[in-house]
Amino acid sequence: MPSHQARPTVDRPTVGRGPGHHGGRIRASIEGRTPVRTSDAAARTGPVPDGGGPVQESDQREQHPERRERSGAASGGPEQDPPTTARDAAAQGAAGTAAHPTPEQVVAGLRATSEGPDLVELLSPEGVFTPHPDYPLEVTAELLQGLYRDMVLVRRFDREGNALQRQGQLSLWAPLLGQEAAQIGAGRALRPTDMAFPSYREHGVAWCRGIDPAQLLGIFRGTDQCGWDPAATRFNGYAIVIGNQVLNAVGYAMGQRLDGAVGGAGNSASAAGAGADGPDGADGPEGVDGSEATIAFFGDGATSQGDVHEAMVFGAVFDAPVVFYCQNNQWAISEPVEKQSRVPLYRRAHGYGFPGVRVDGNDVLACLAVTRWALQECRSGNGPVMIEAFTYRMDAHTTSDDPTRYRLADEEEAWKLLDPIERVRVHLTREGLADAAFFERVAQDADELAAHFRAACYALDSPGPDRLFSHVYSGEHEQTRRQHAEQIGYLASFQEPAESGR
């Protein structure tokens, strides 16, 4: 990608159709909310062009000026635009506050968070591919088939995980149904040298890092904390504490910079679109210059955590090569996203001093292209990037959750029309890039993977009592040795003494 395109304008109208518009319509129609008028939106965000969403002030300046205009933004939270109208001034004054917003503020806020402009989309829900000027992607039959296979297989073992929990084989399962494109697109954008920090739902990213799905089972069975080697796979262990992994990711990325693994020769942003685009995530030289980046995965609910705020402050101040990848699946358990933020989540990045991009999280090609660009920005030494993958959680938060208590089936049915796998299938079929035999092979592979996953779950053993003392300290410790001896004696006290002569 040419250097002048390294910071593409993100404040522009939506390309094509996608959840950025469908999402707002879905929620407005289901919950009986009156859609905001253009004049109401303009009062908060400026004039609305003919092409789509509101024009932001940054449209009038250099692309992504937040890279250099930090003036205190990196040390604080998201910046607030100055009032431009009397309505704006009143909205920011005593007439309306964050705790007691005016009706106009509420309506405008709902539109901004559930609809919003600037969605990057390459493959529409109808399966129509439209190249994007800022995020070029060489689309081949091999690439599309590989991404389709990834998503189908990941969905299949995810559904098996749900079933195993219902059968009592797992204590819990965190489903990813509906988020396959957001995870596979990002996962396949990574180089082998990059590092990923997941939350607890990134089964698709784990798949892309070469982790056997069976290695995930111990976490949800309660028999293991991490079934893989994070150093070897470049995929950290799952994080249950909300937002904690984002701080860890920034610390790791700061270490990459200190180690000189950022900004290597031949690692310009123009390399992001070079080379063979394959389902293995290759994008030109496979990190031959030794450059690295880090990606942190988290959800919309985590953006309300202090850890995420602190991570973004540190990442901005120290130019850490980290991509903040937020999967906005619309619900933080039962809390809708419009109650968590008054602005689209990707715009928060501007207040910290780095770019933010909103991508159609149900479009695997868009997720791949945007994440490749963002990672290349980081490897080139340009500092953090935030990506908001606008998607939808089609299942429960976890198997302990009942989403029917807080959302309507109509909302789920509407989002099914935006299914990430179906749009790729439609495109492959329409363009003659795959035949029936291909789809049958993928379905068979998915069934075989599910059988392997199920058999591995049934074969899991319970951990021995000595595991209680593993990884408490980095090495042997007198206190744990003493406690372990006490435990052995305690367990032995329950054994029946052997009778004499027998």
pLDDT tens per residue, range 457-470: 999 988 888 888 88
| Beta pairing class for 322-328 and 294-299 | parallel
Contact 19, 123 (CB under 8 A): no
For the chain, give the percent of residues with pLDDT over 70: 71
Q: Which of 139, 422, 449, 147 is CA-nearest to residue 280?
A: 147
Integer Cα distance of 267 and 321 in angstroms: 13
What's the pLDDT at 103?
A: 59
For 201-251, what is each residue's pLDDT tens digit? 999 999 999 999 999 999 999 988 899 999 999 999 999 899 999 999 999
> In terms of pLDDT, which residue wins out, 81 or 146?
146
Write the CA distances from 229 to 210, 212, 241, 499, integer angstroms. Answer: 11, 12, 20, 47
Integer Cα distance of 85 and 332 in angstroms: 34
Q: What is the DSSP letter of 156?
A: H
For 249-262, what is each residue's pLDDT tens digit? 999 999 999 999 99
In the structure, what pLDDT confidence band is assigned to residue 501 with cuts at 50, 70 and 90?
A: low
Write the CA distances from 247 to 38, 174, 254, 302, integer angstroms. Answer: 39, 22, 11, 12
The per-residue DSSP string of 268-303 comes to: -GGGGG-S---TT---SSSSTT----EEEEEETGGG
What's the pLDDT at 2?
A: 38
What's the pLDDT at 470?
A: 80
Integer Cα distance of 337 and 328 in angstroms: 8
Name, of 65-69, 71-75, 166-170, the range with top average pLDDT. 166-170
Contact 454, 472 (CB under 8 A): no
> In terms of pLDDT, which residue wins out, 486 or 289?
486
Count the alpha carbons within 13 Å of 381 in the hemisphere toward its beta carbon. Answer: 13
- Which range among 150-154, 265-269, 350-354 shows the weakest confidence by mean pLDDT? 265-269
For 348-379, what is each residue's pLDDT tens digit? 999 999 999 999 999 999 999 999 999 999 99
What does CATH list as the number for 119-458?
3.40.50.970
**Overall average pLDDT of the 383-409 stretch:** 92
Whether the predicted pLDDT of 49 surpasses 60 = no
Q: Which of 118, 116, 111 is CA-nearest to residue 13?
A: 118
What's the pLDDT at 468?
A: 83
* Domain residue ranges of the chain, discontinuous segments joined by +: 119-458, 465-494
Whether the predicted pLDDT of 447 surpasses 60 = yes
Tokens of 189: 């954008």
Whether the predicted pLDDT of 73 surpasses 50 = no
For 163-208, what is each residue's pLDDT tens digit? 999 999 999 999 999 999 999 999 999 999 999 999 999 999 999 9
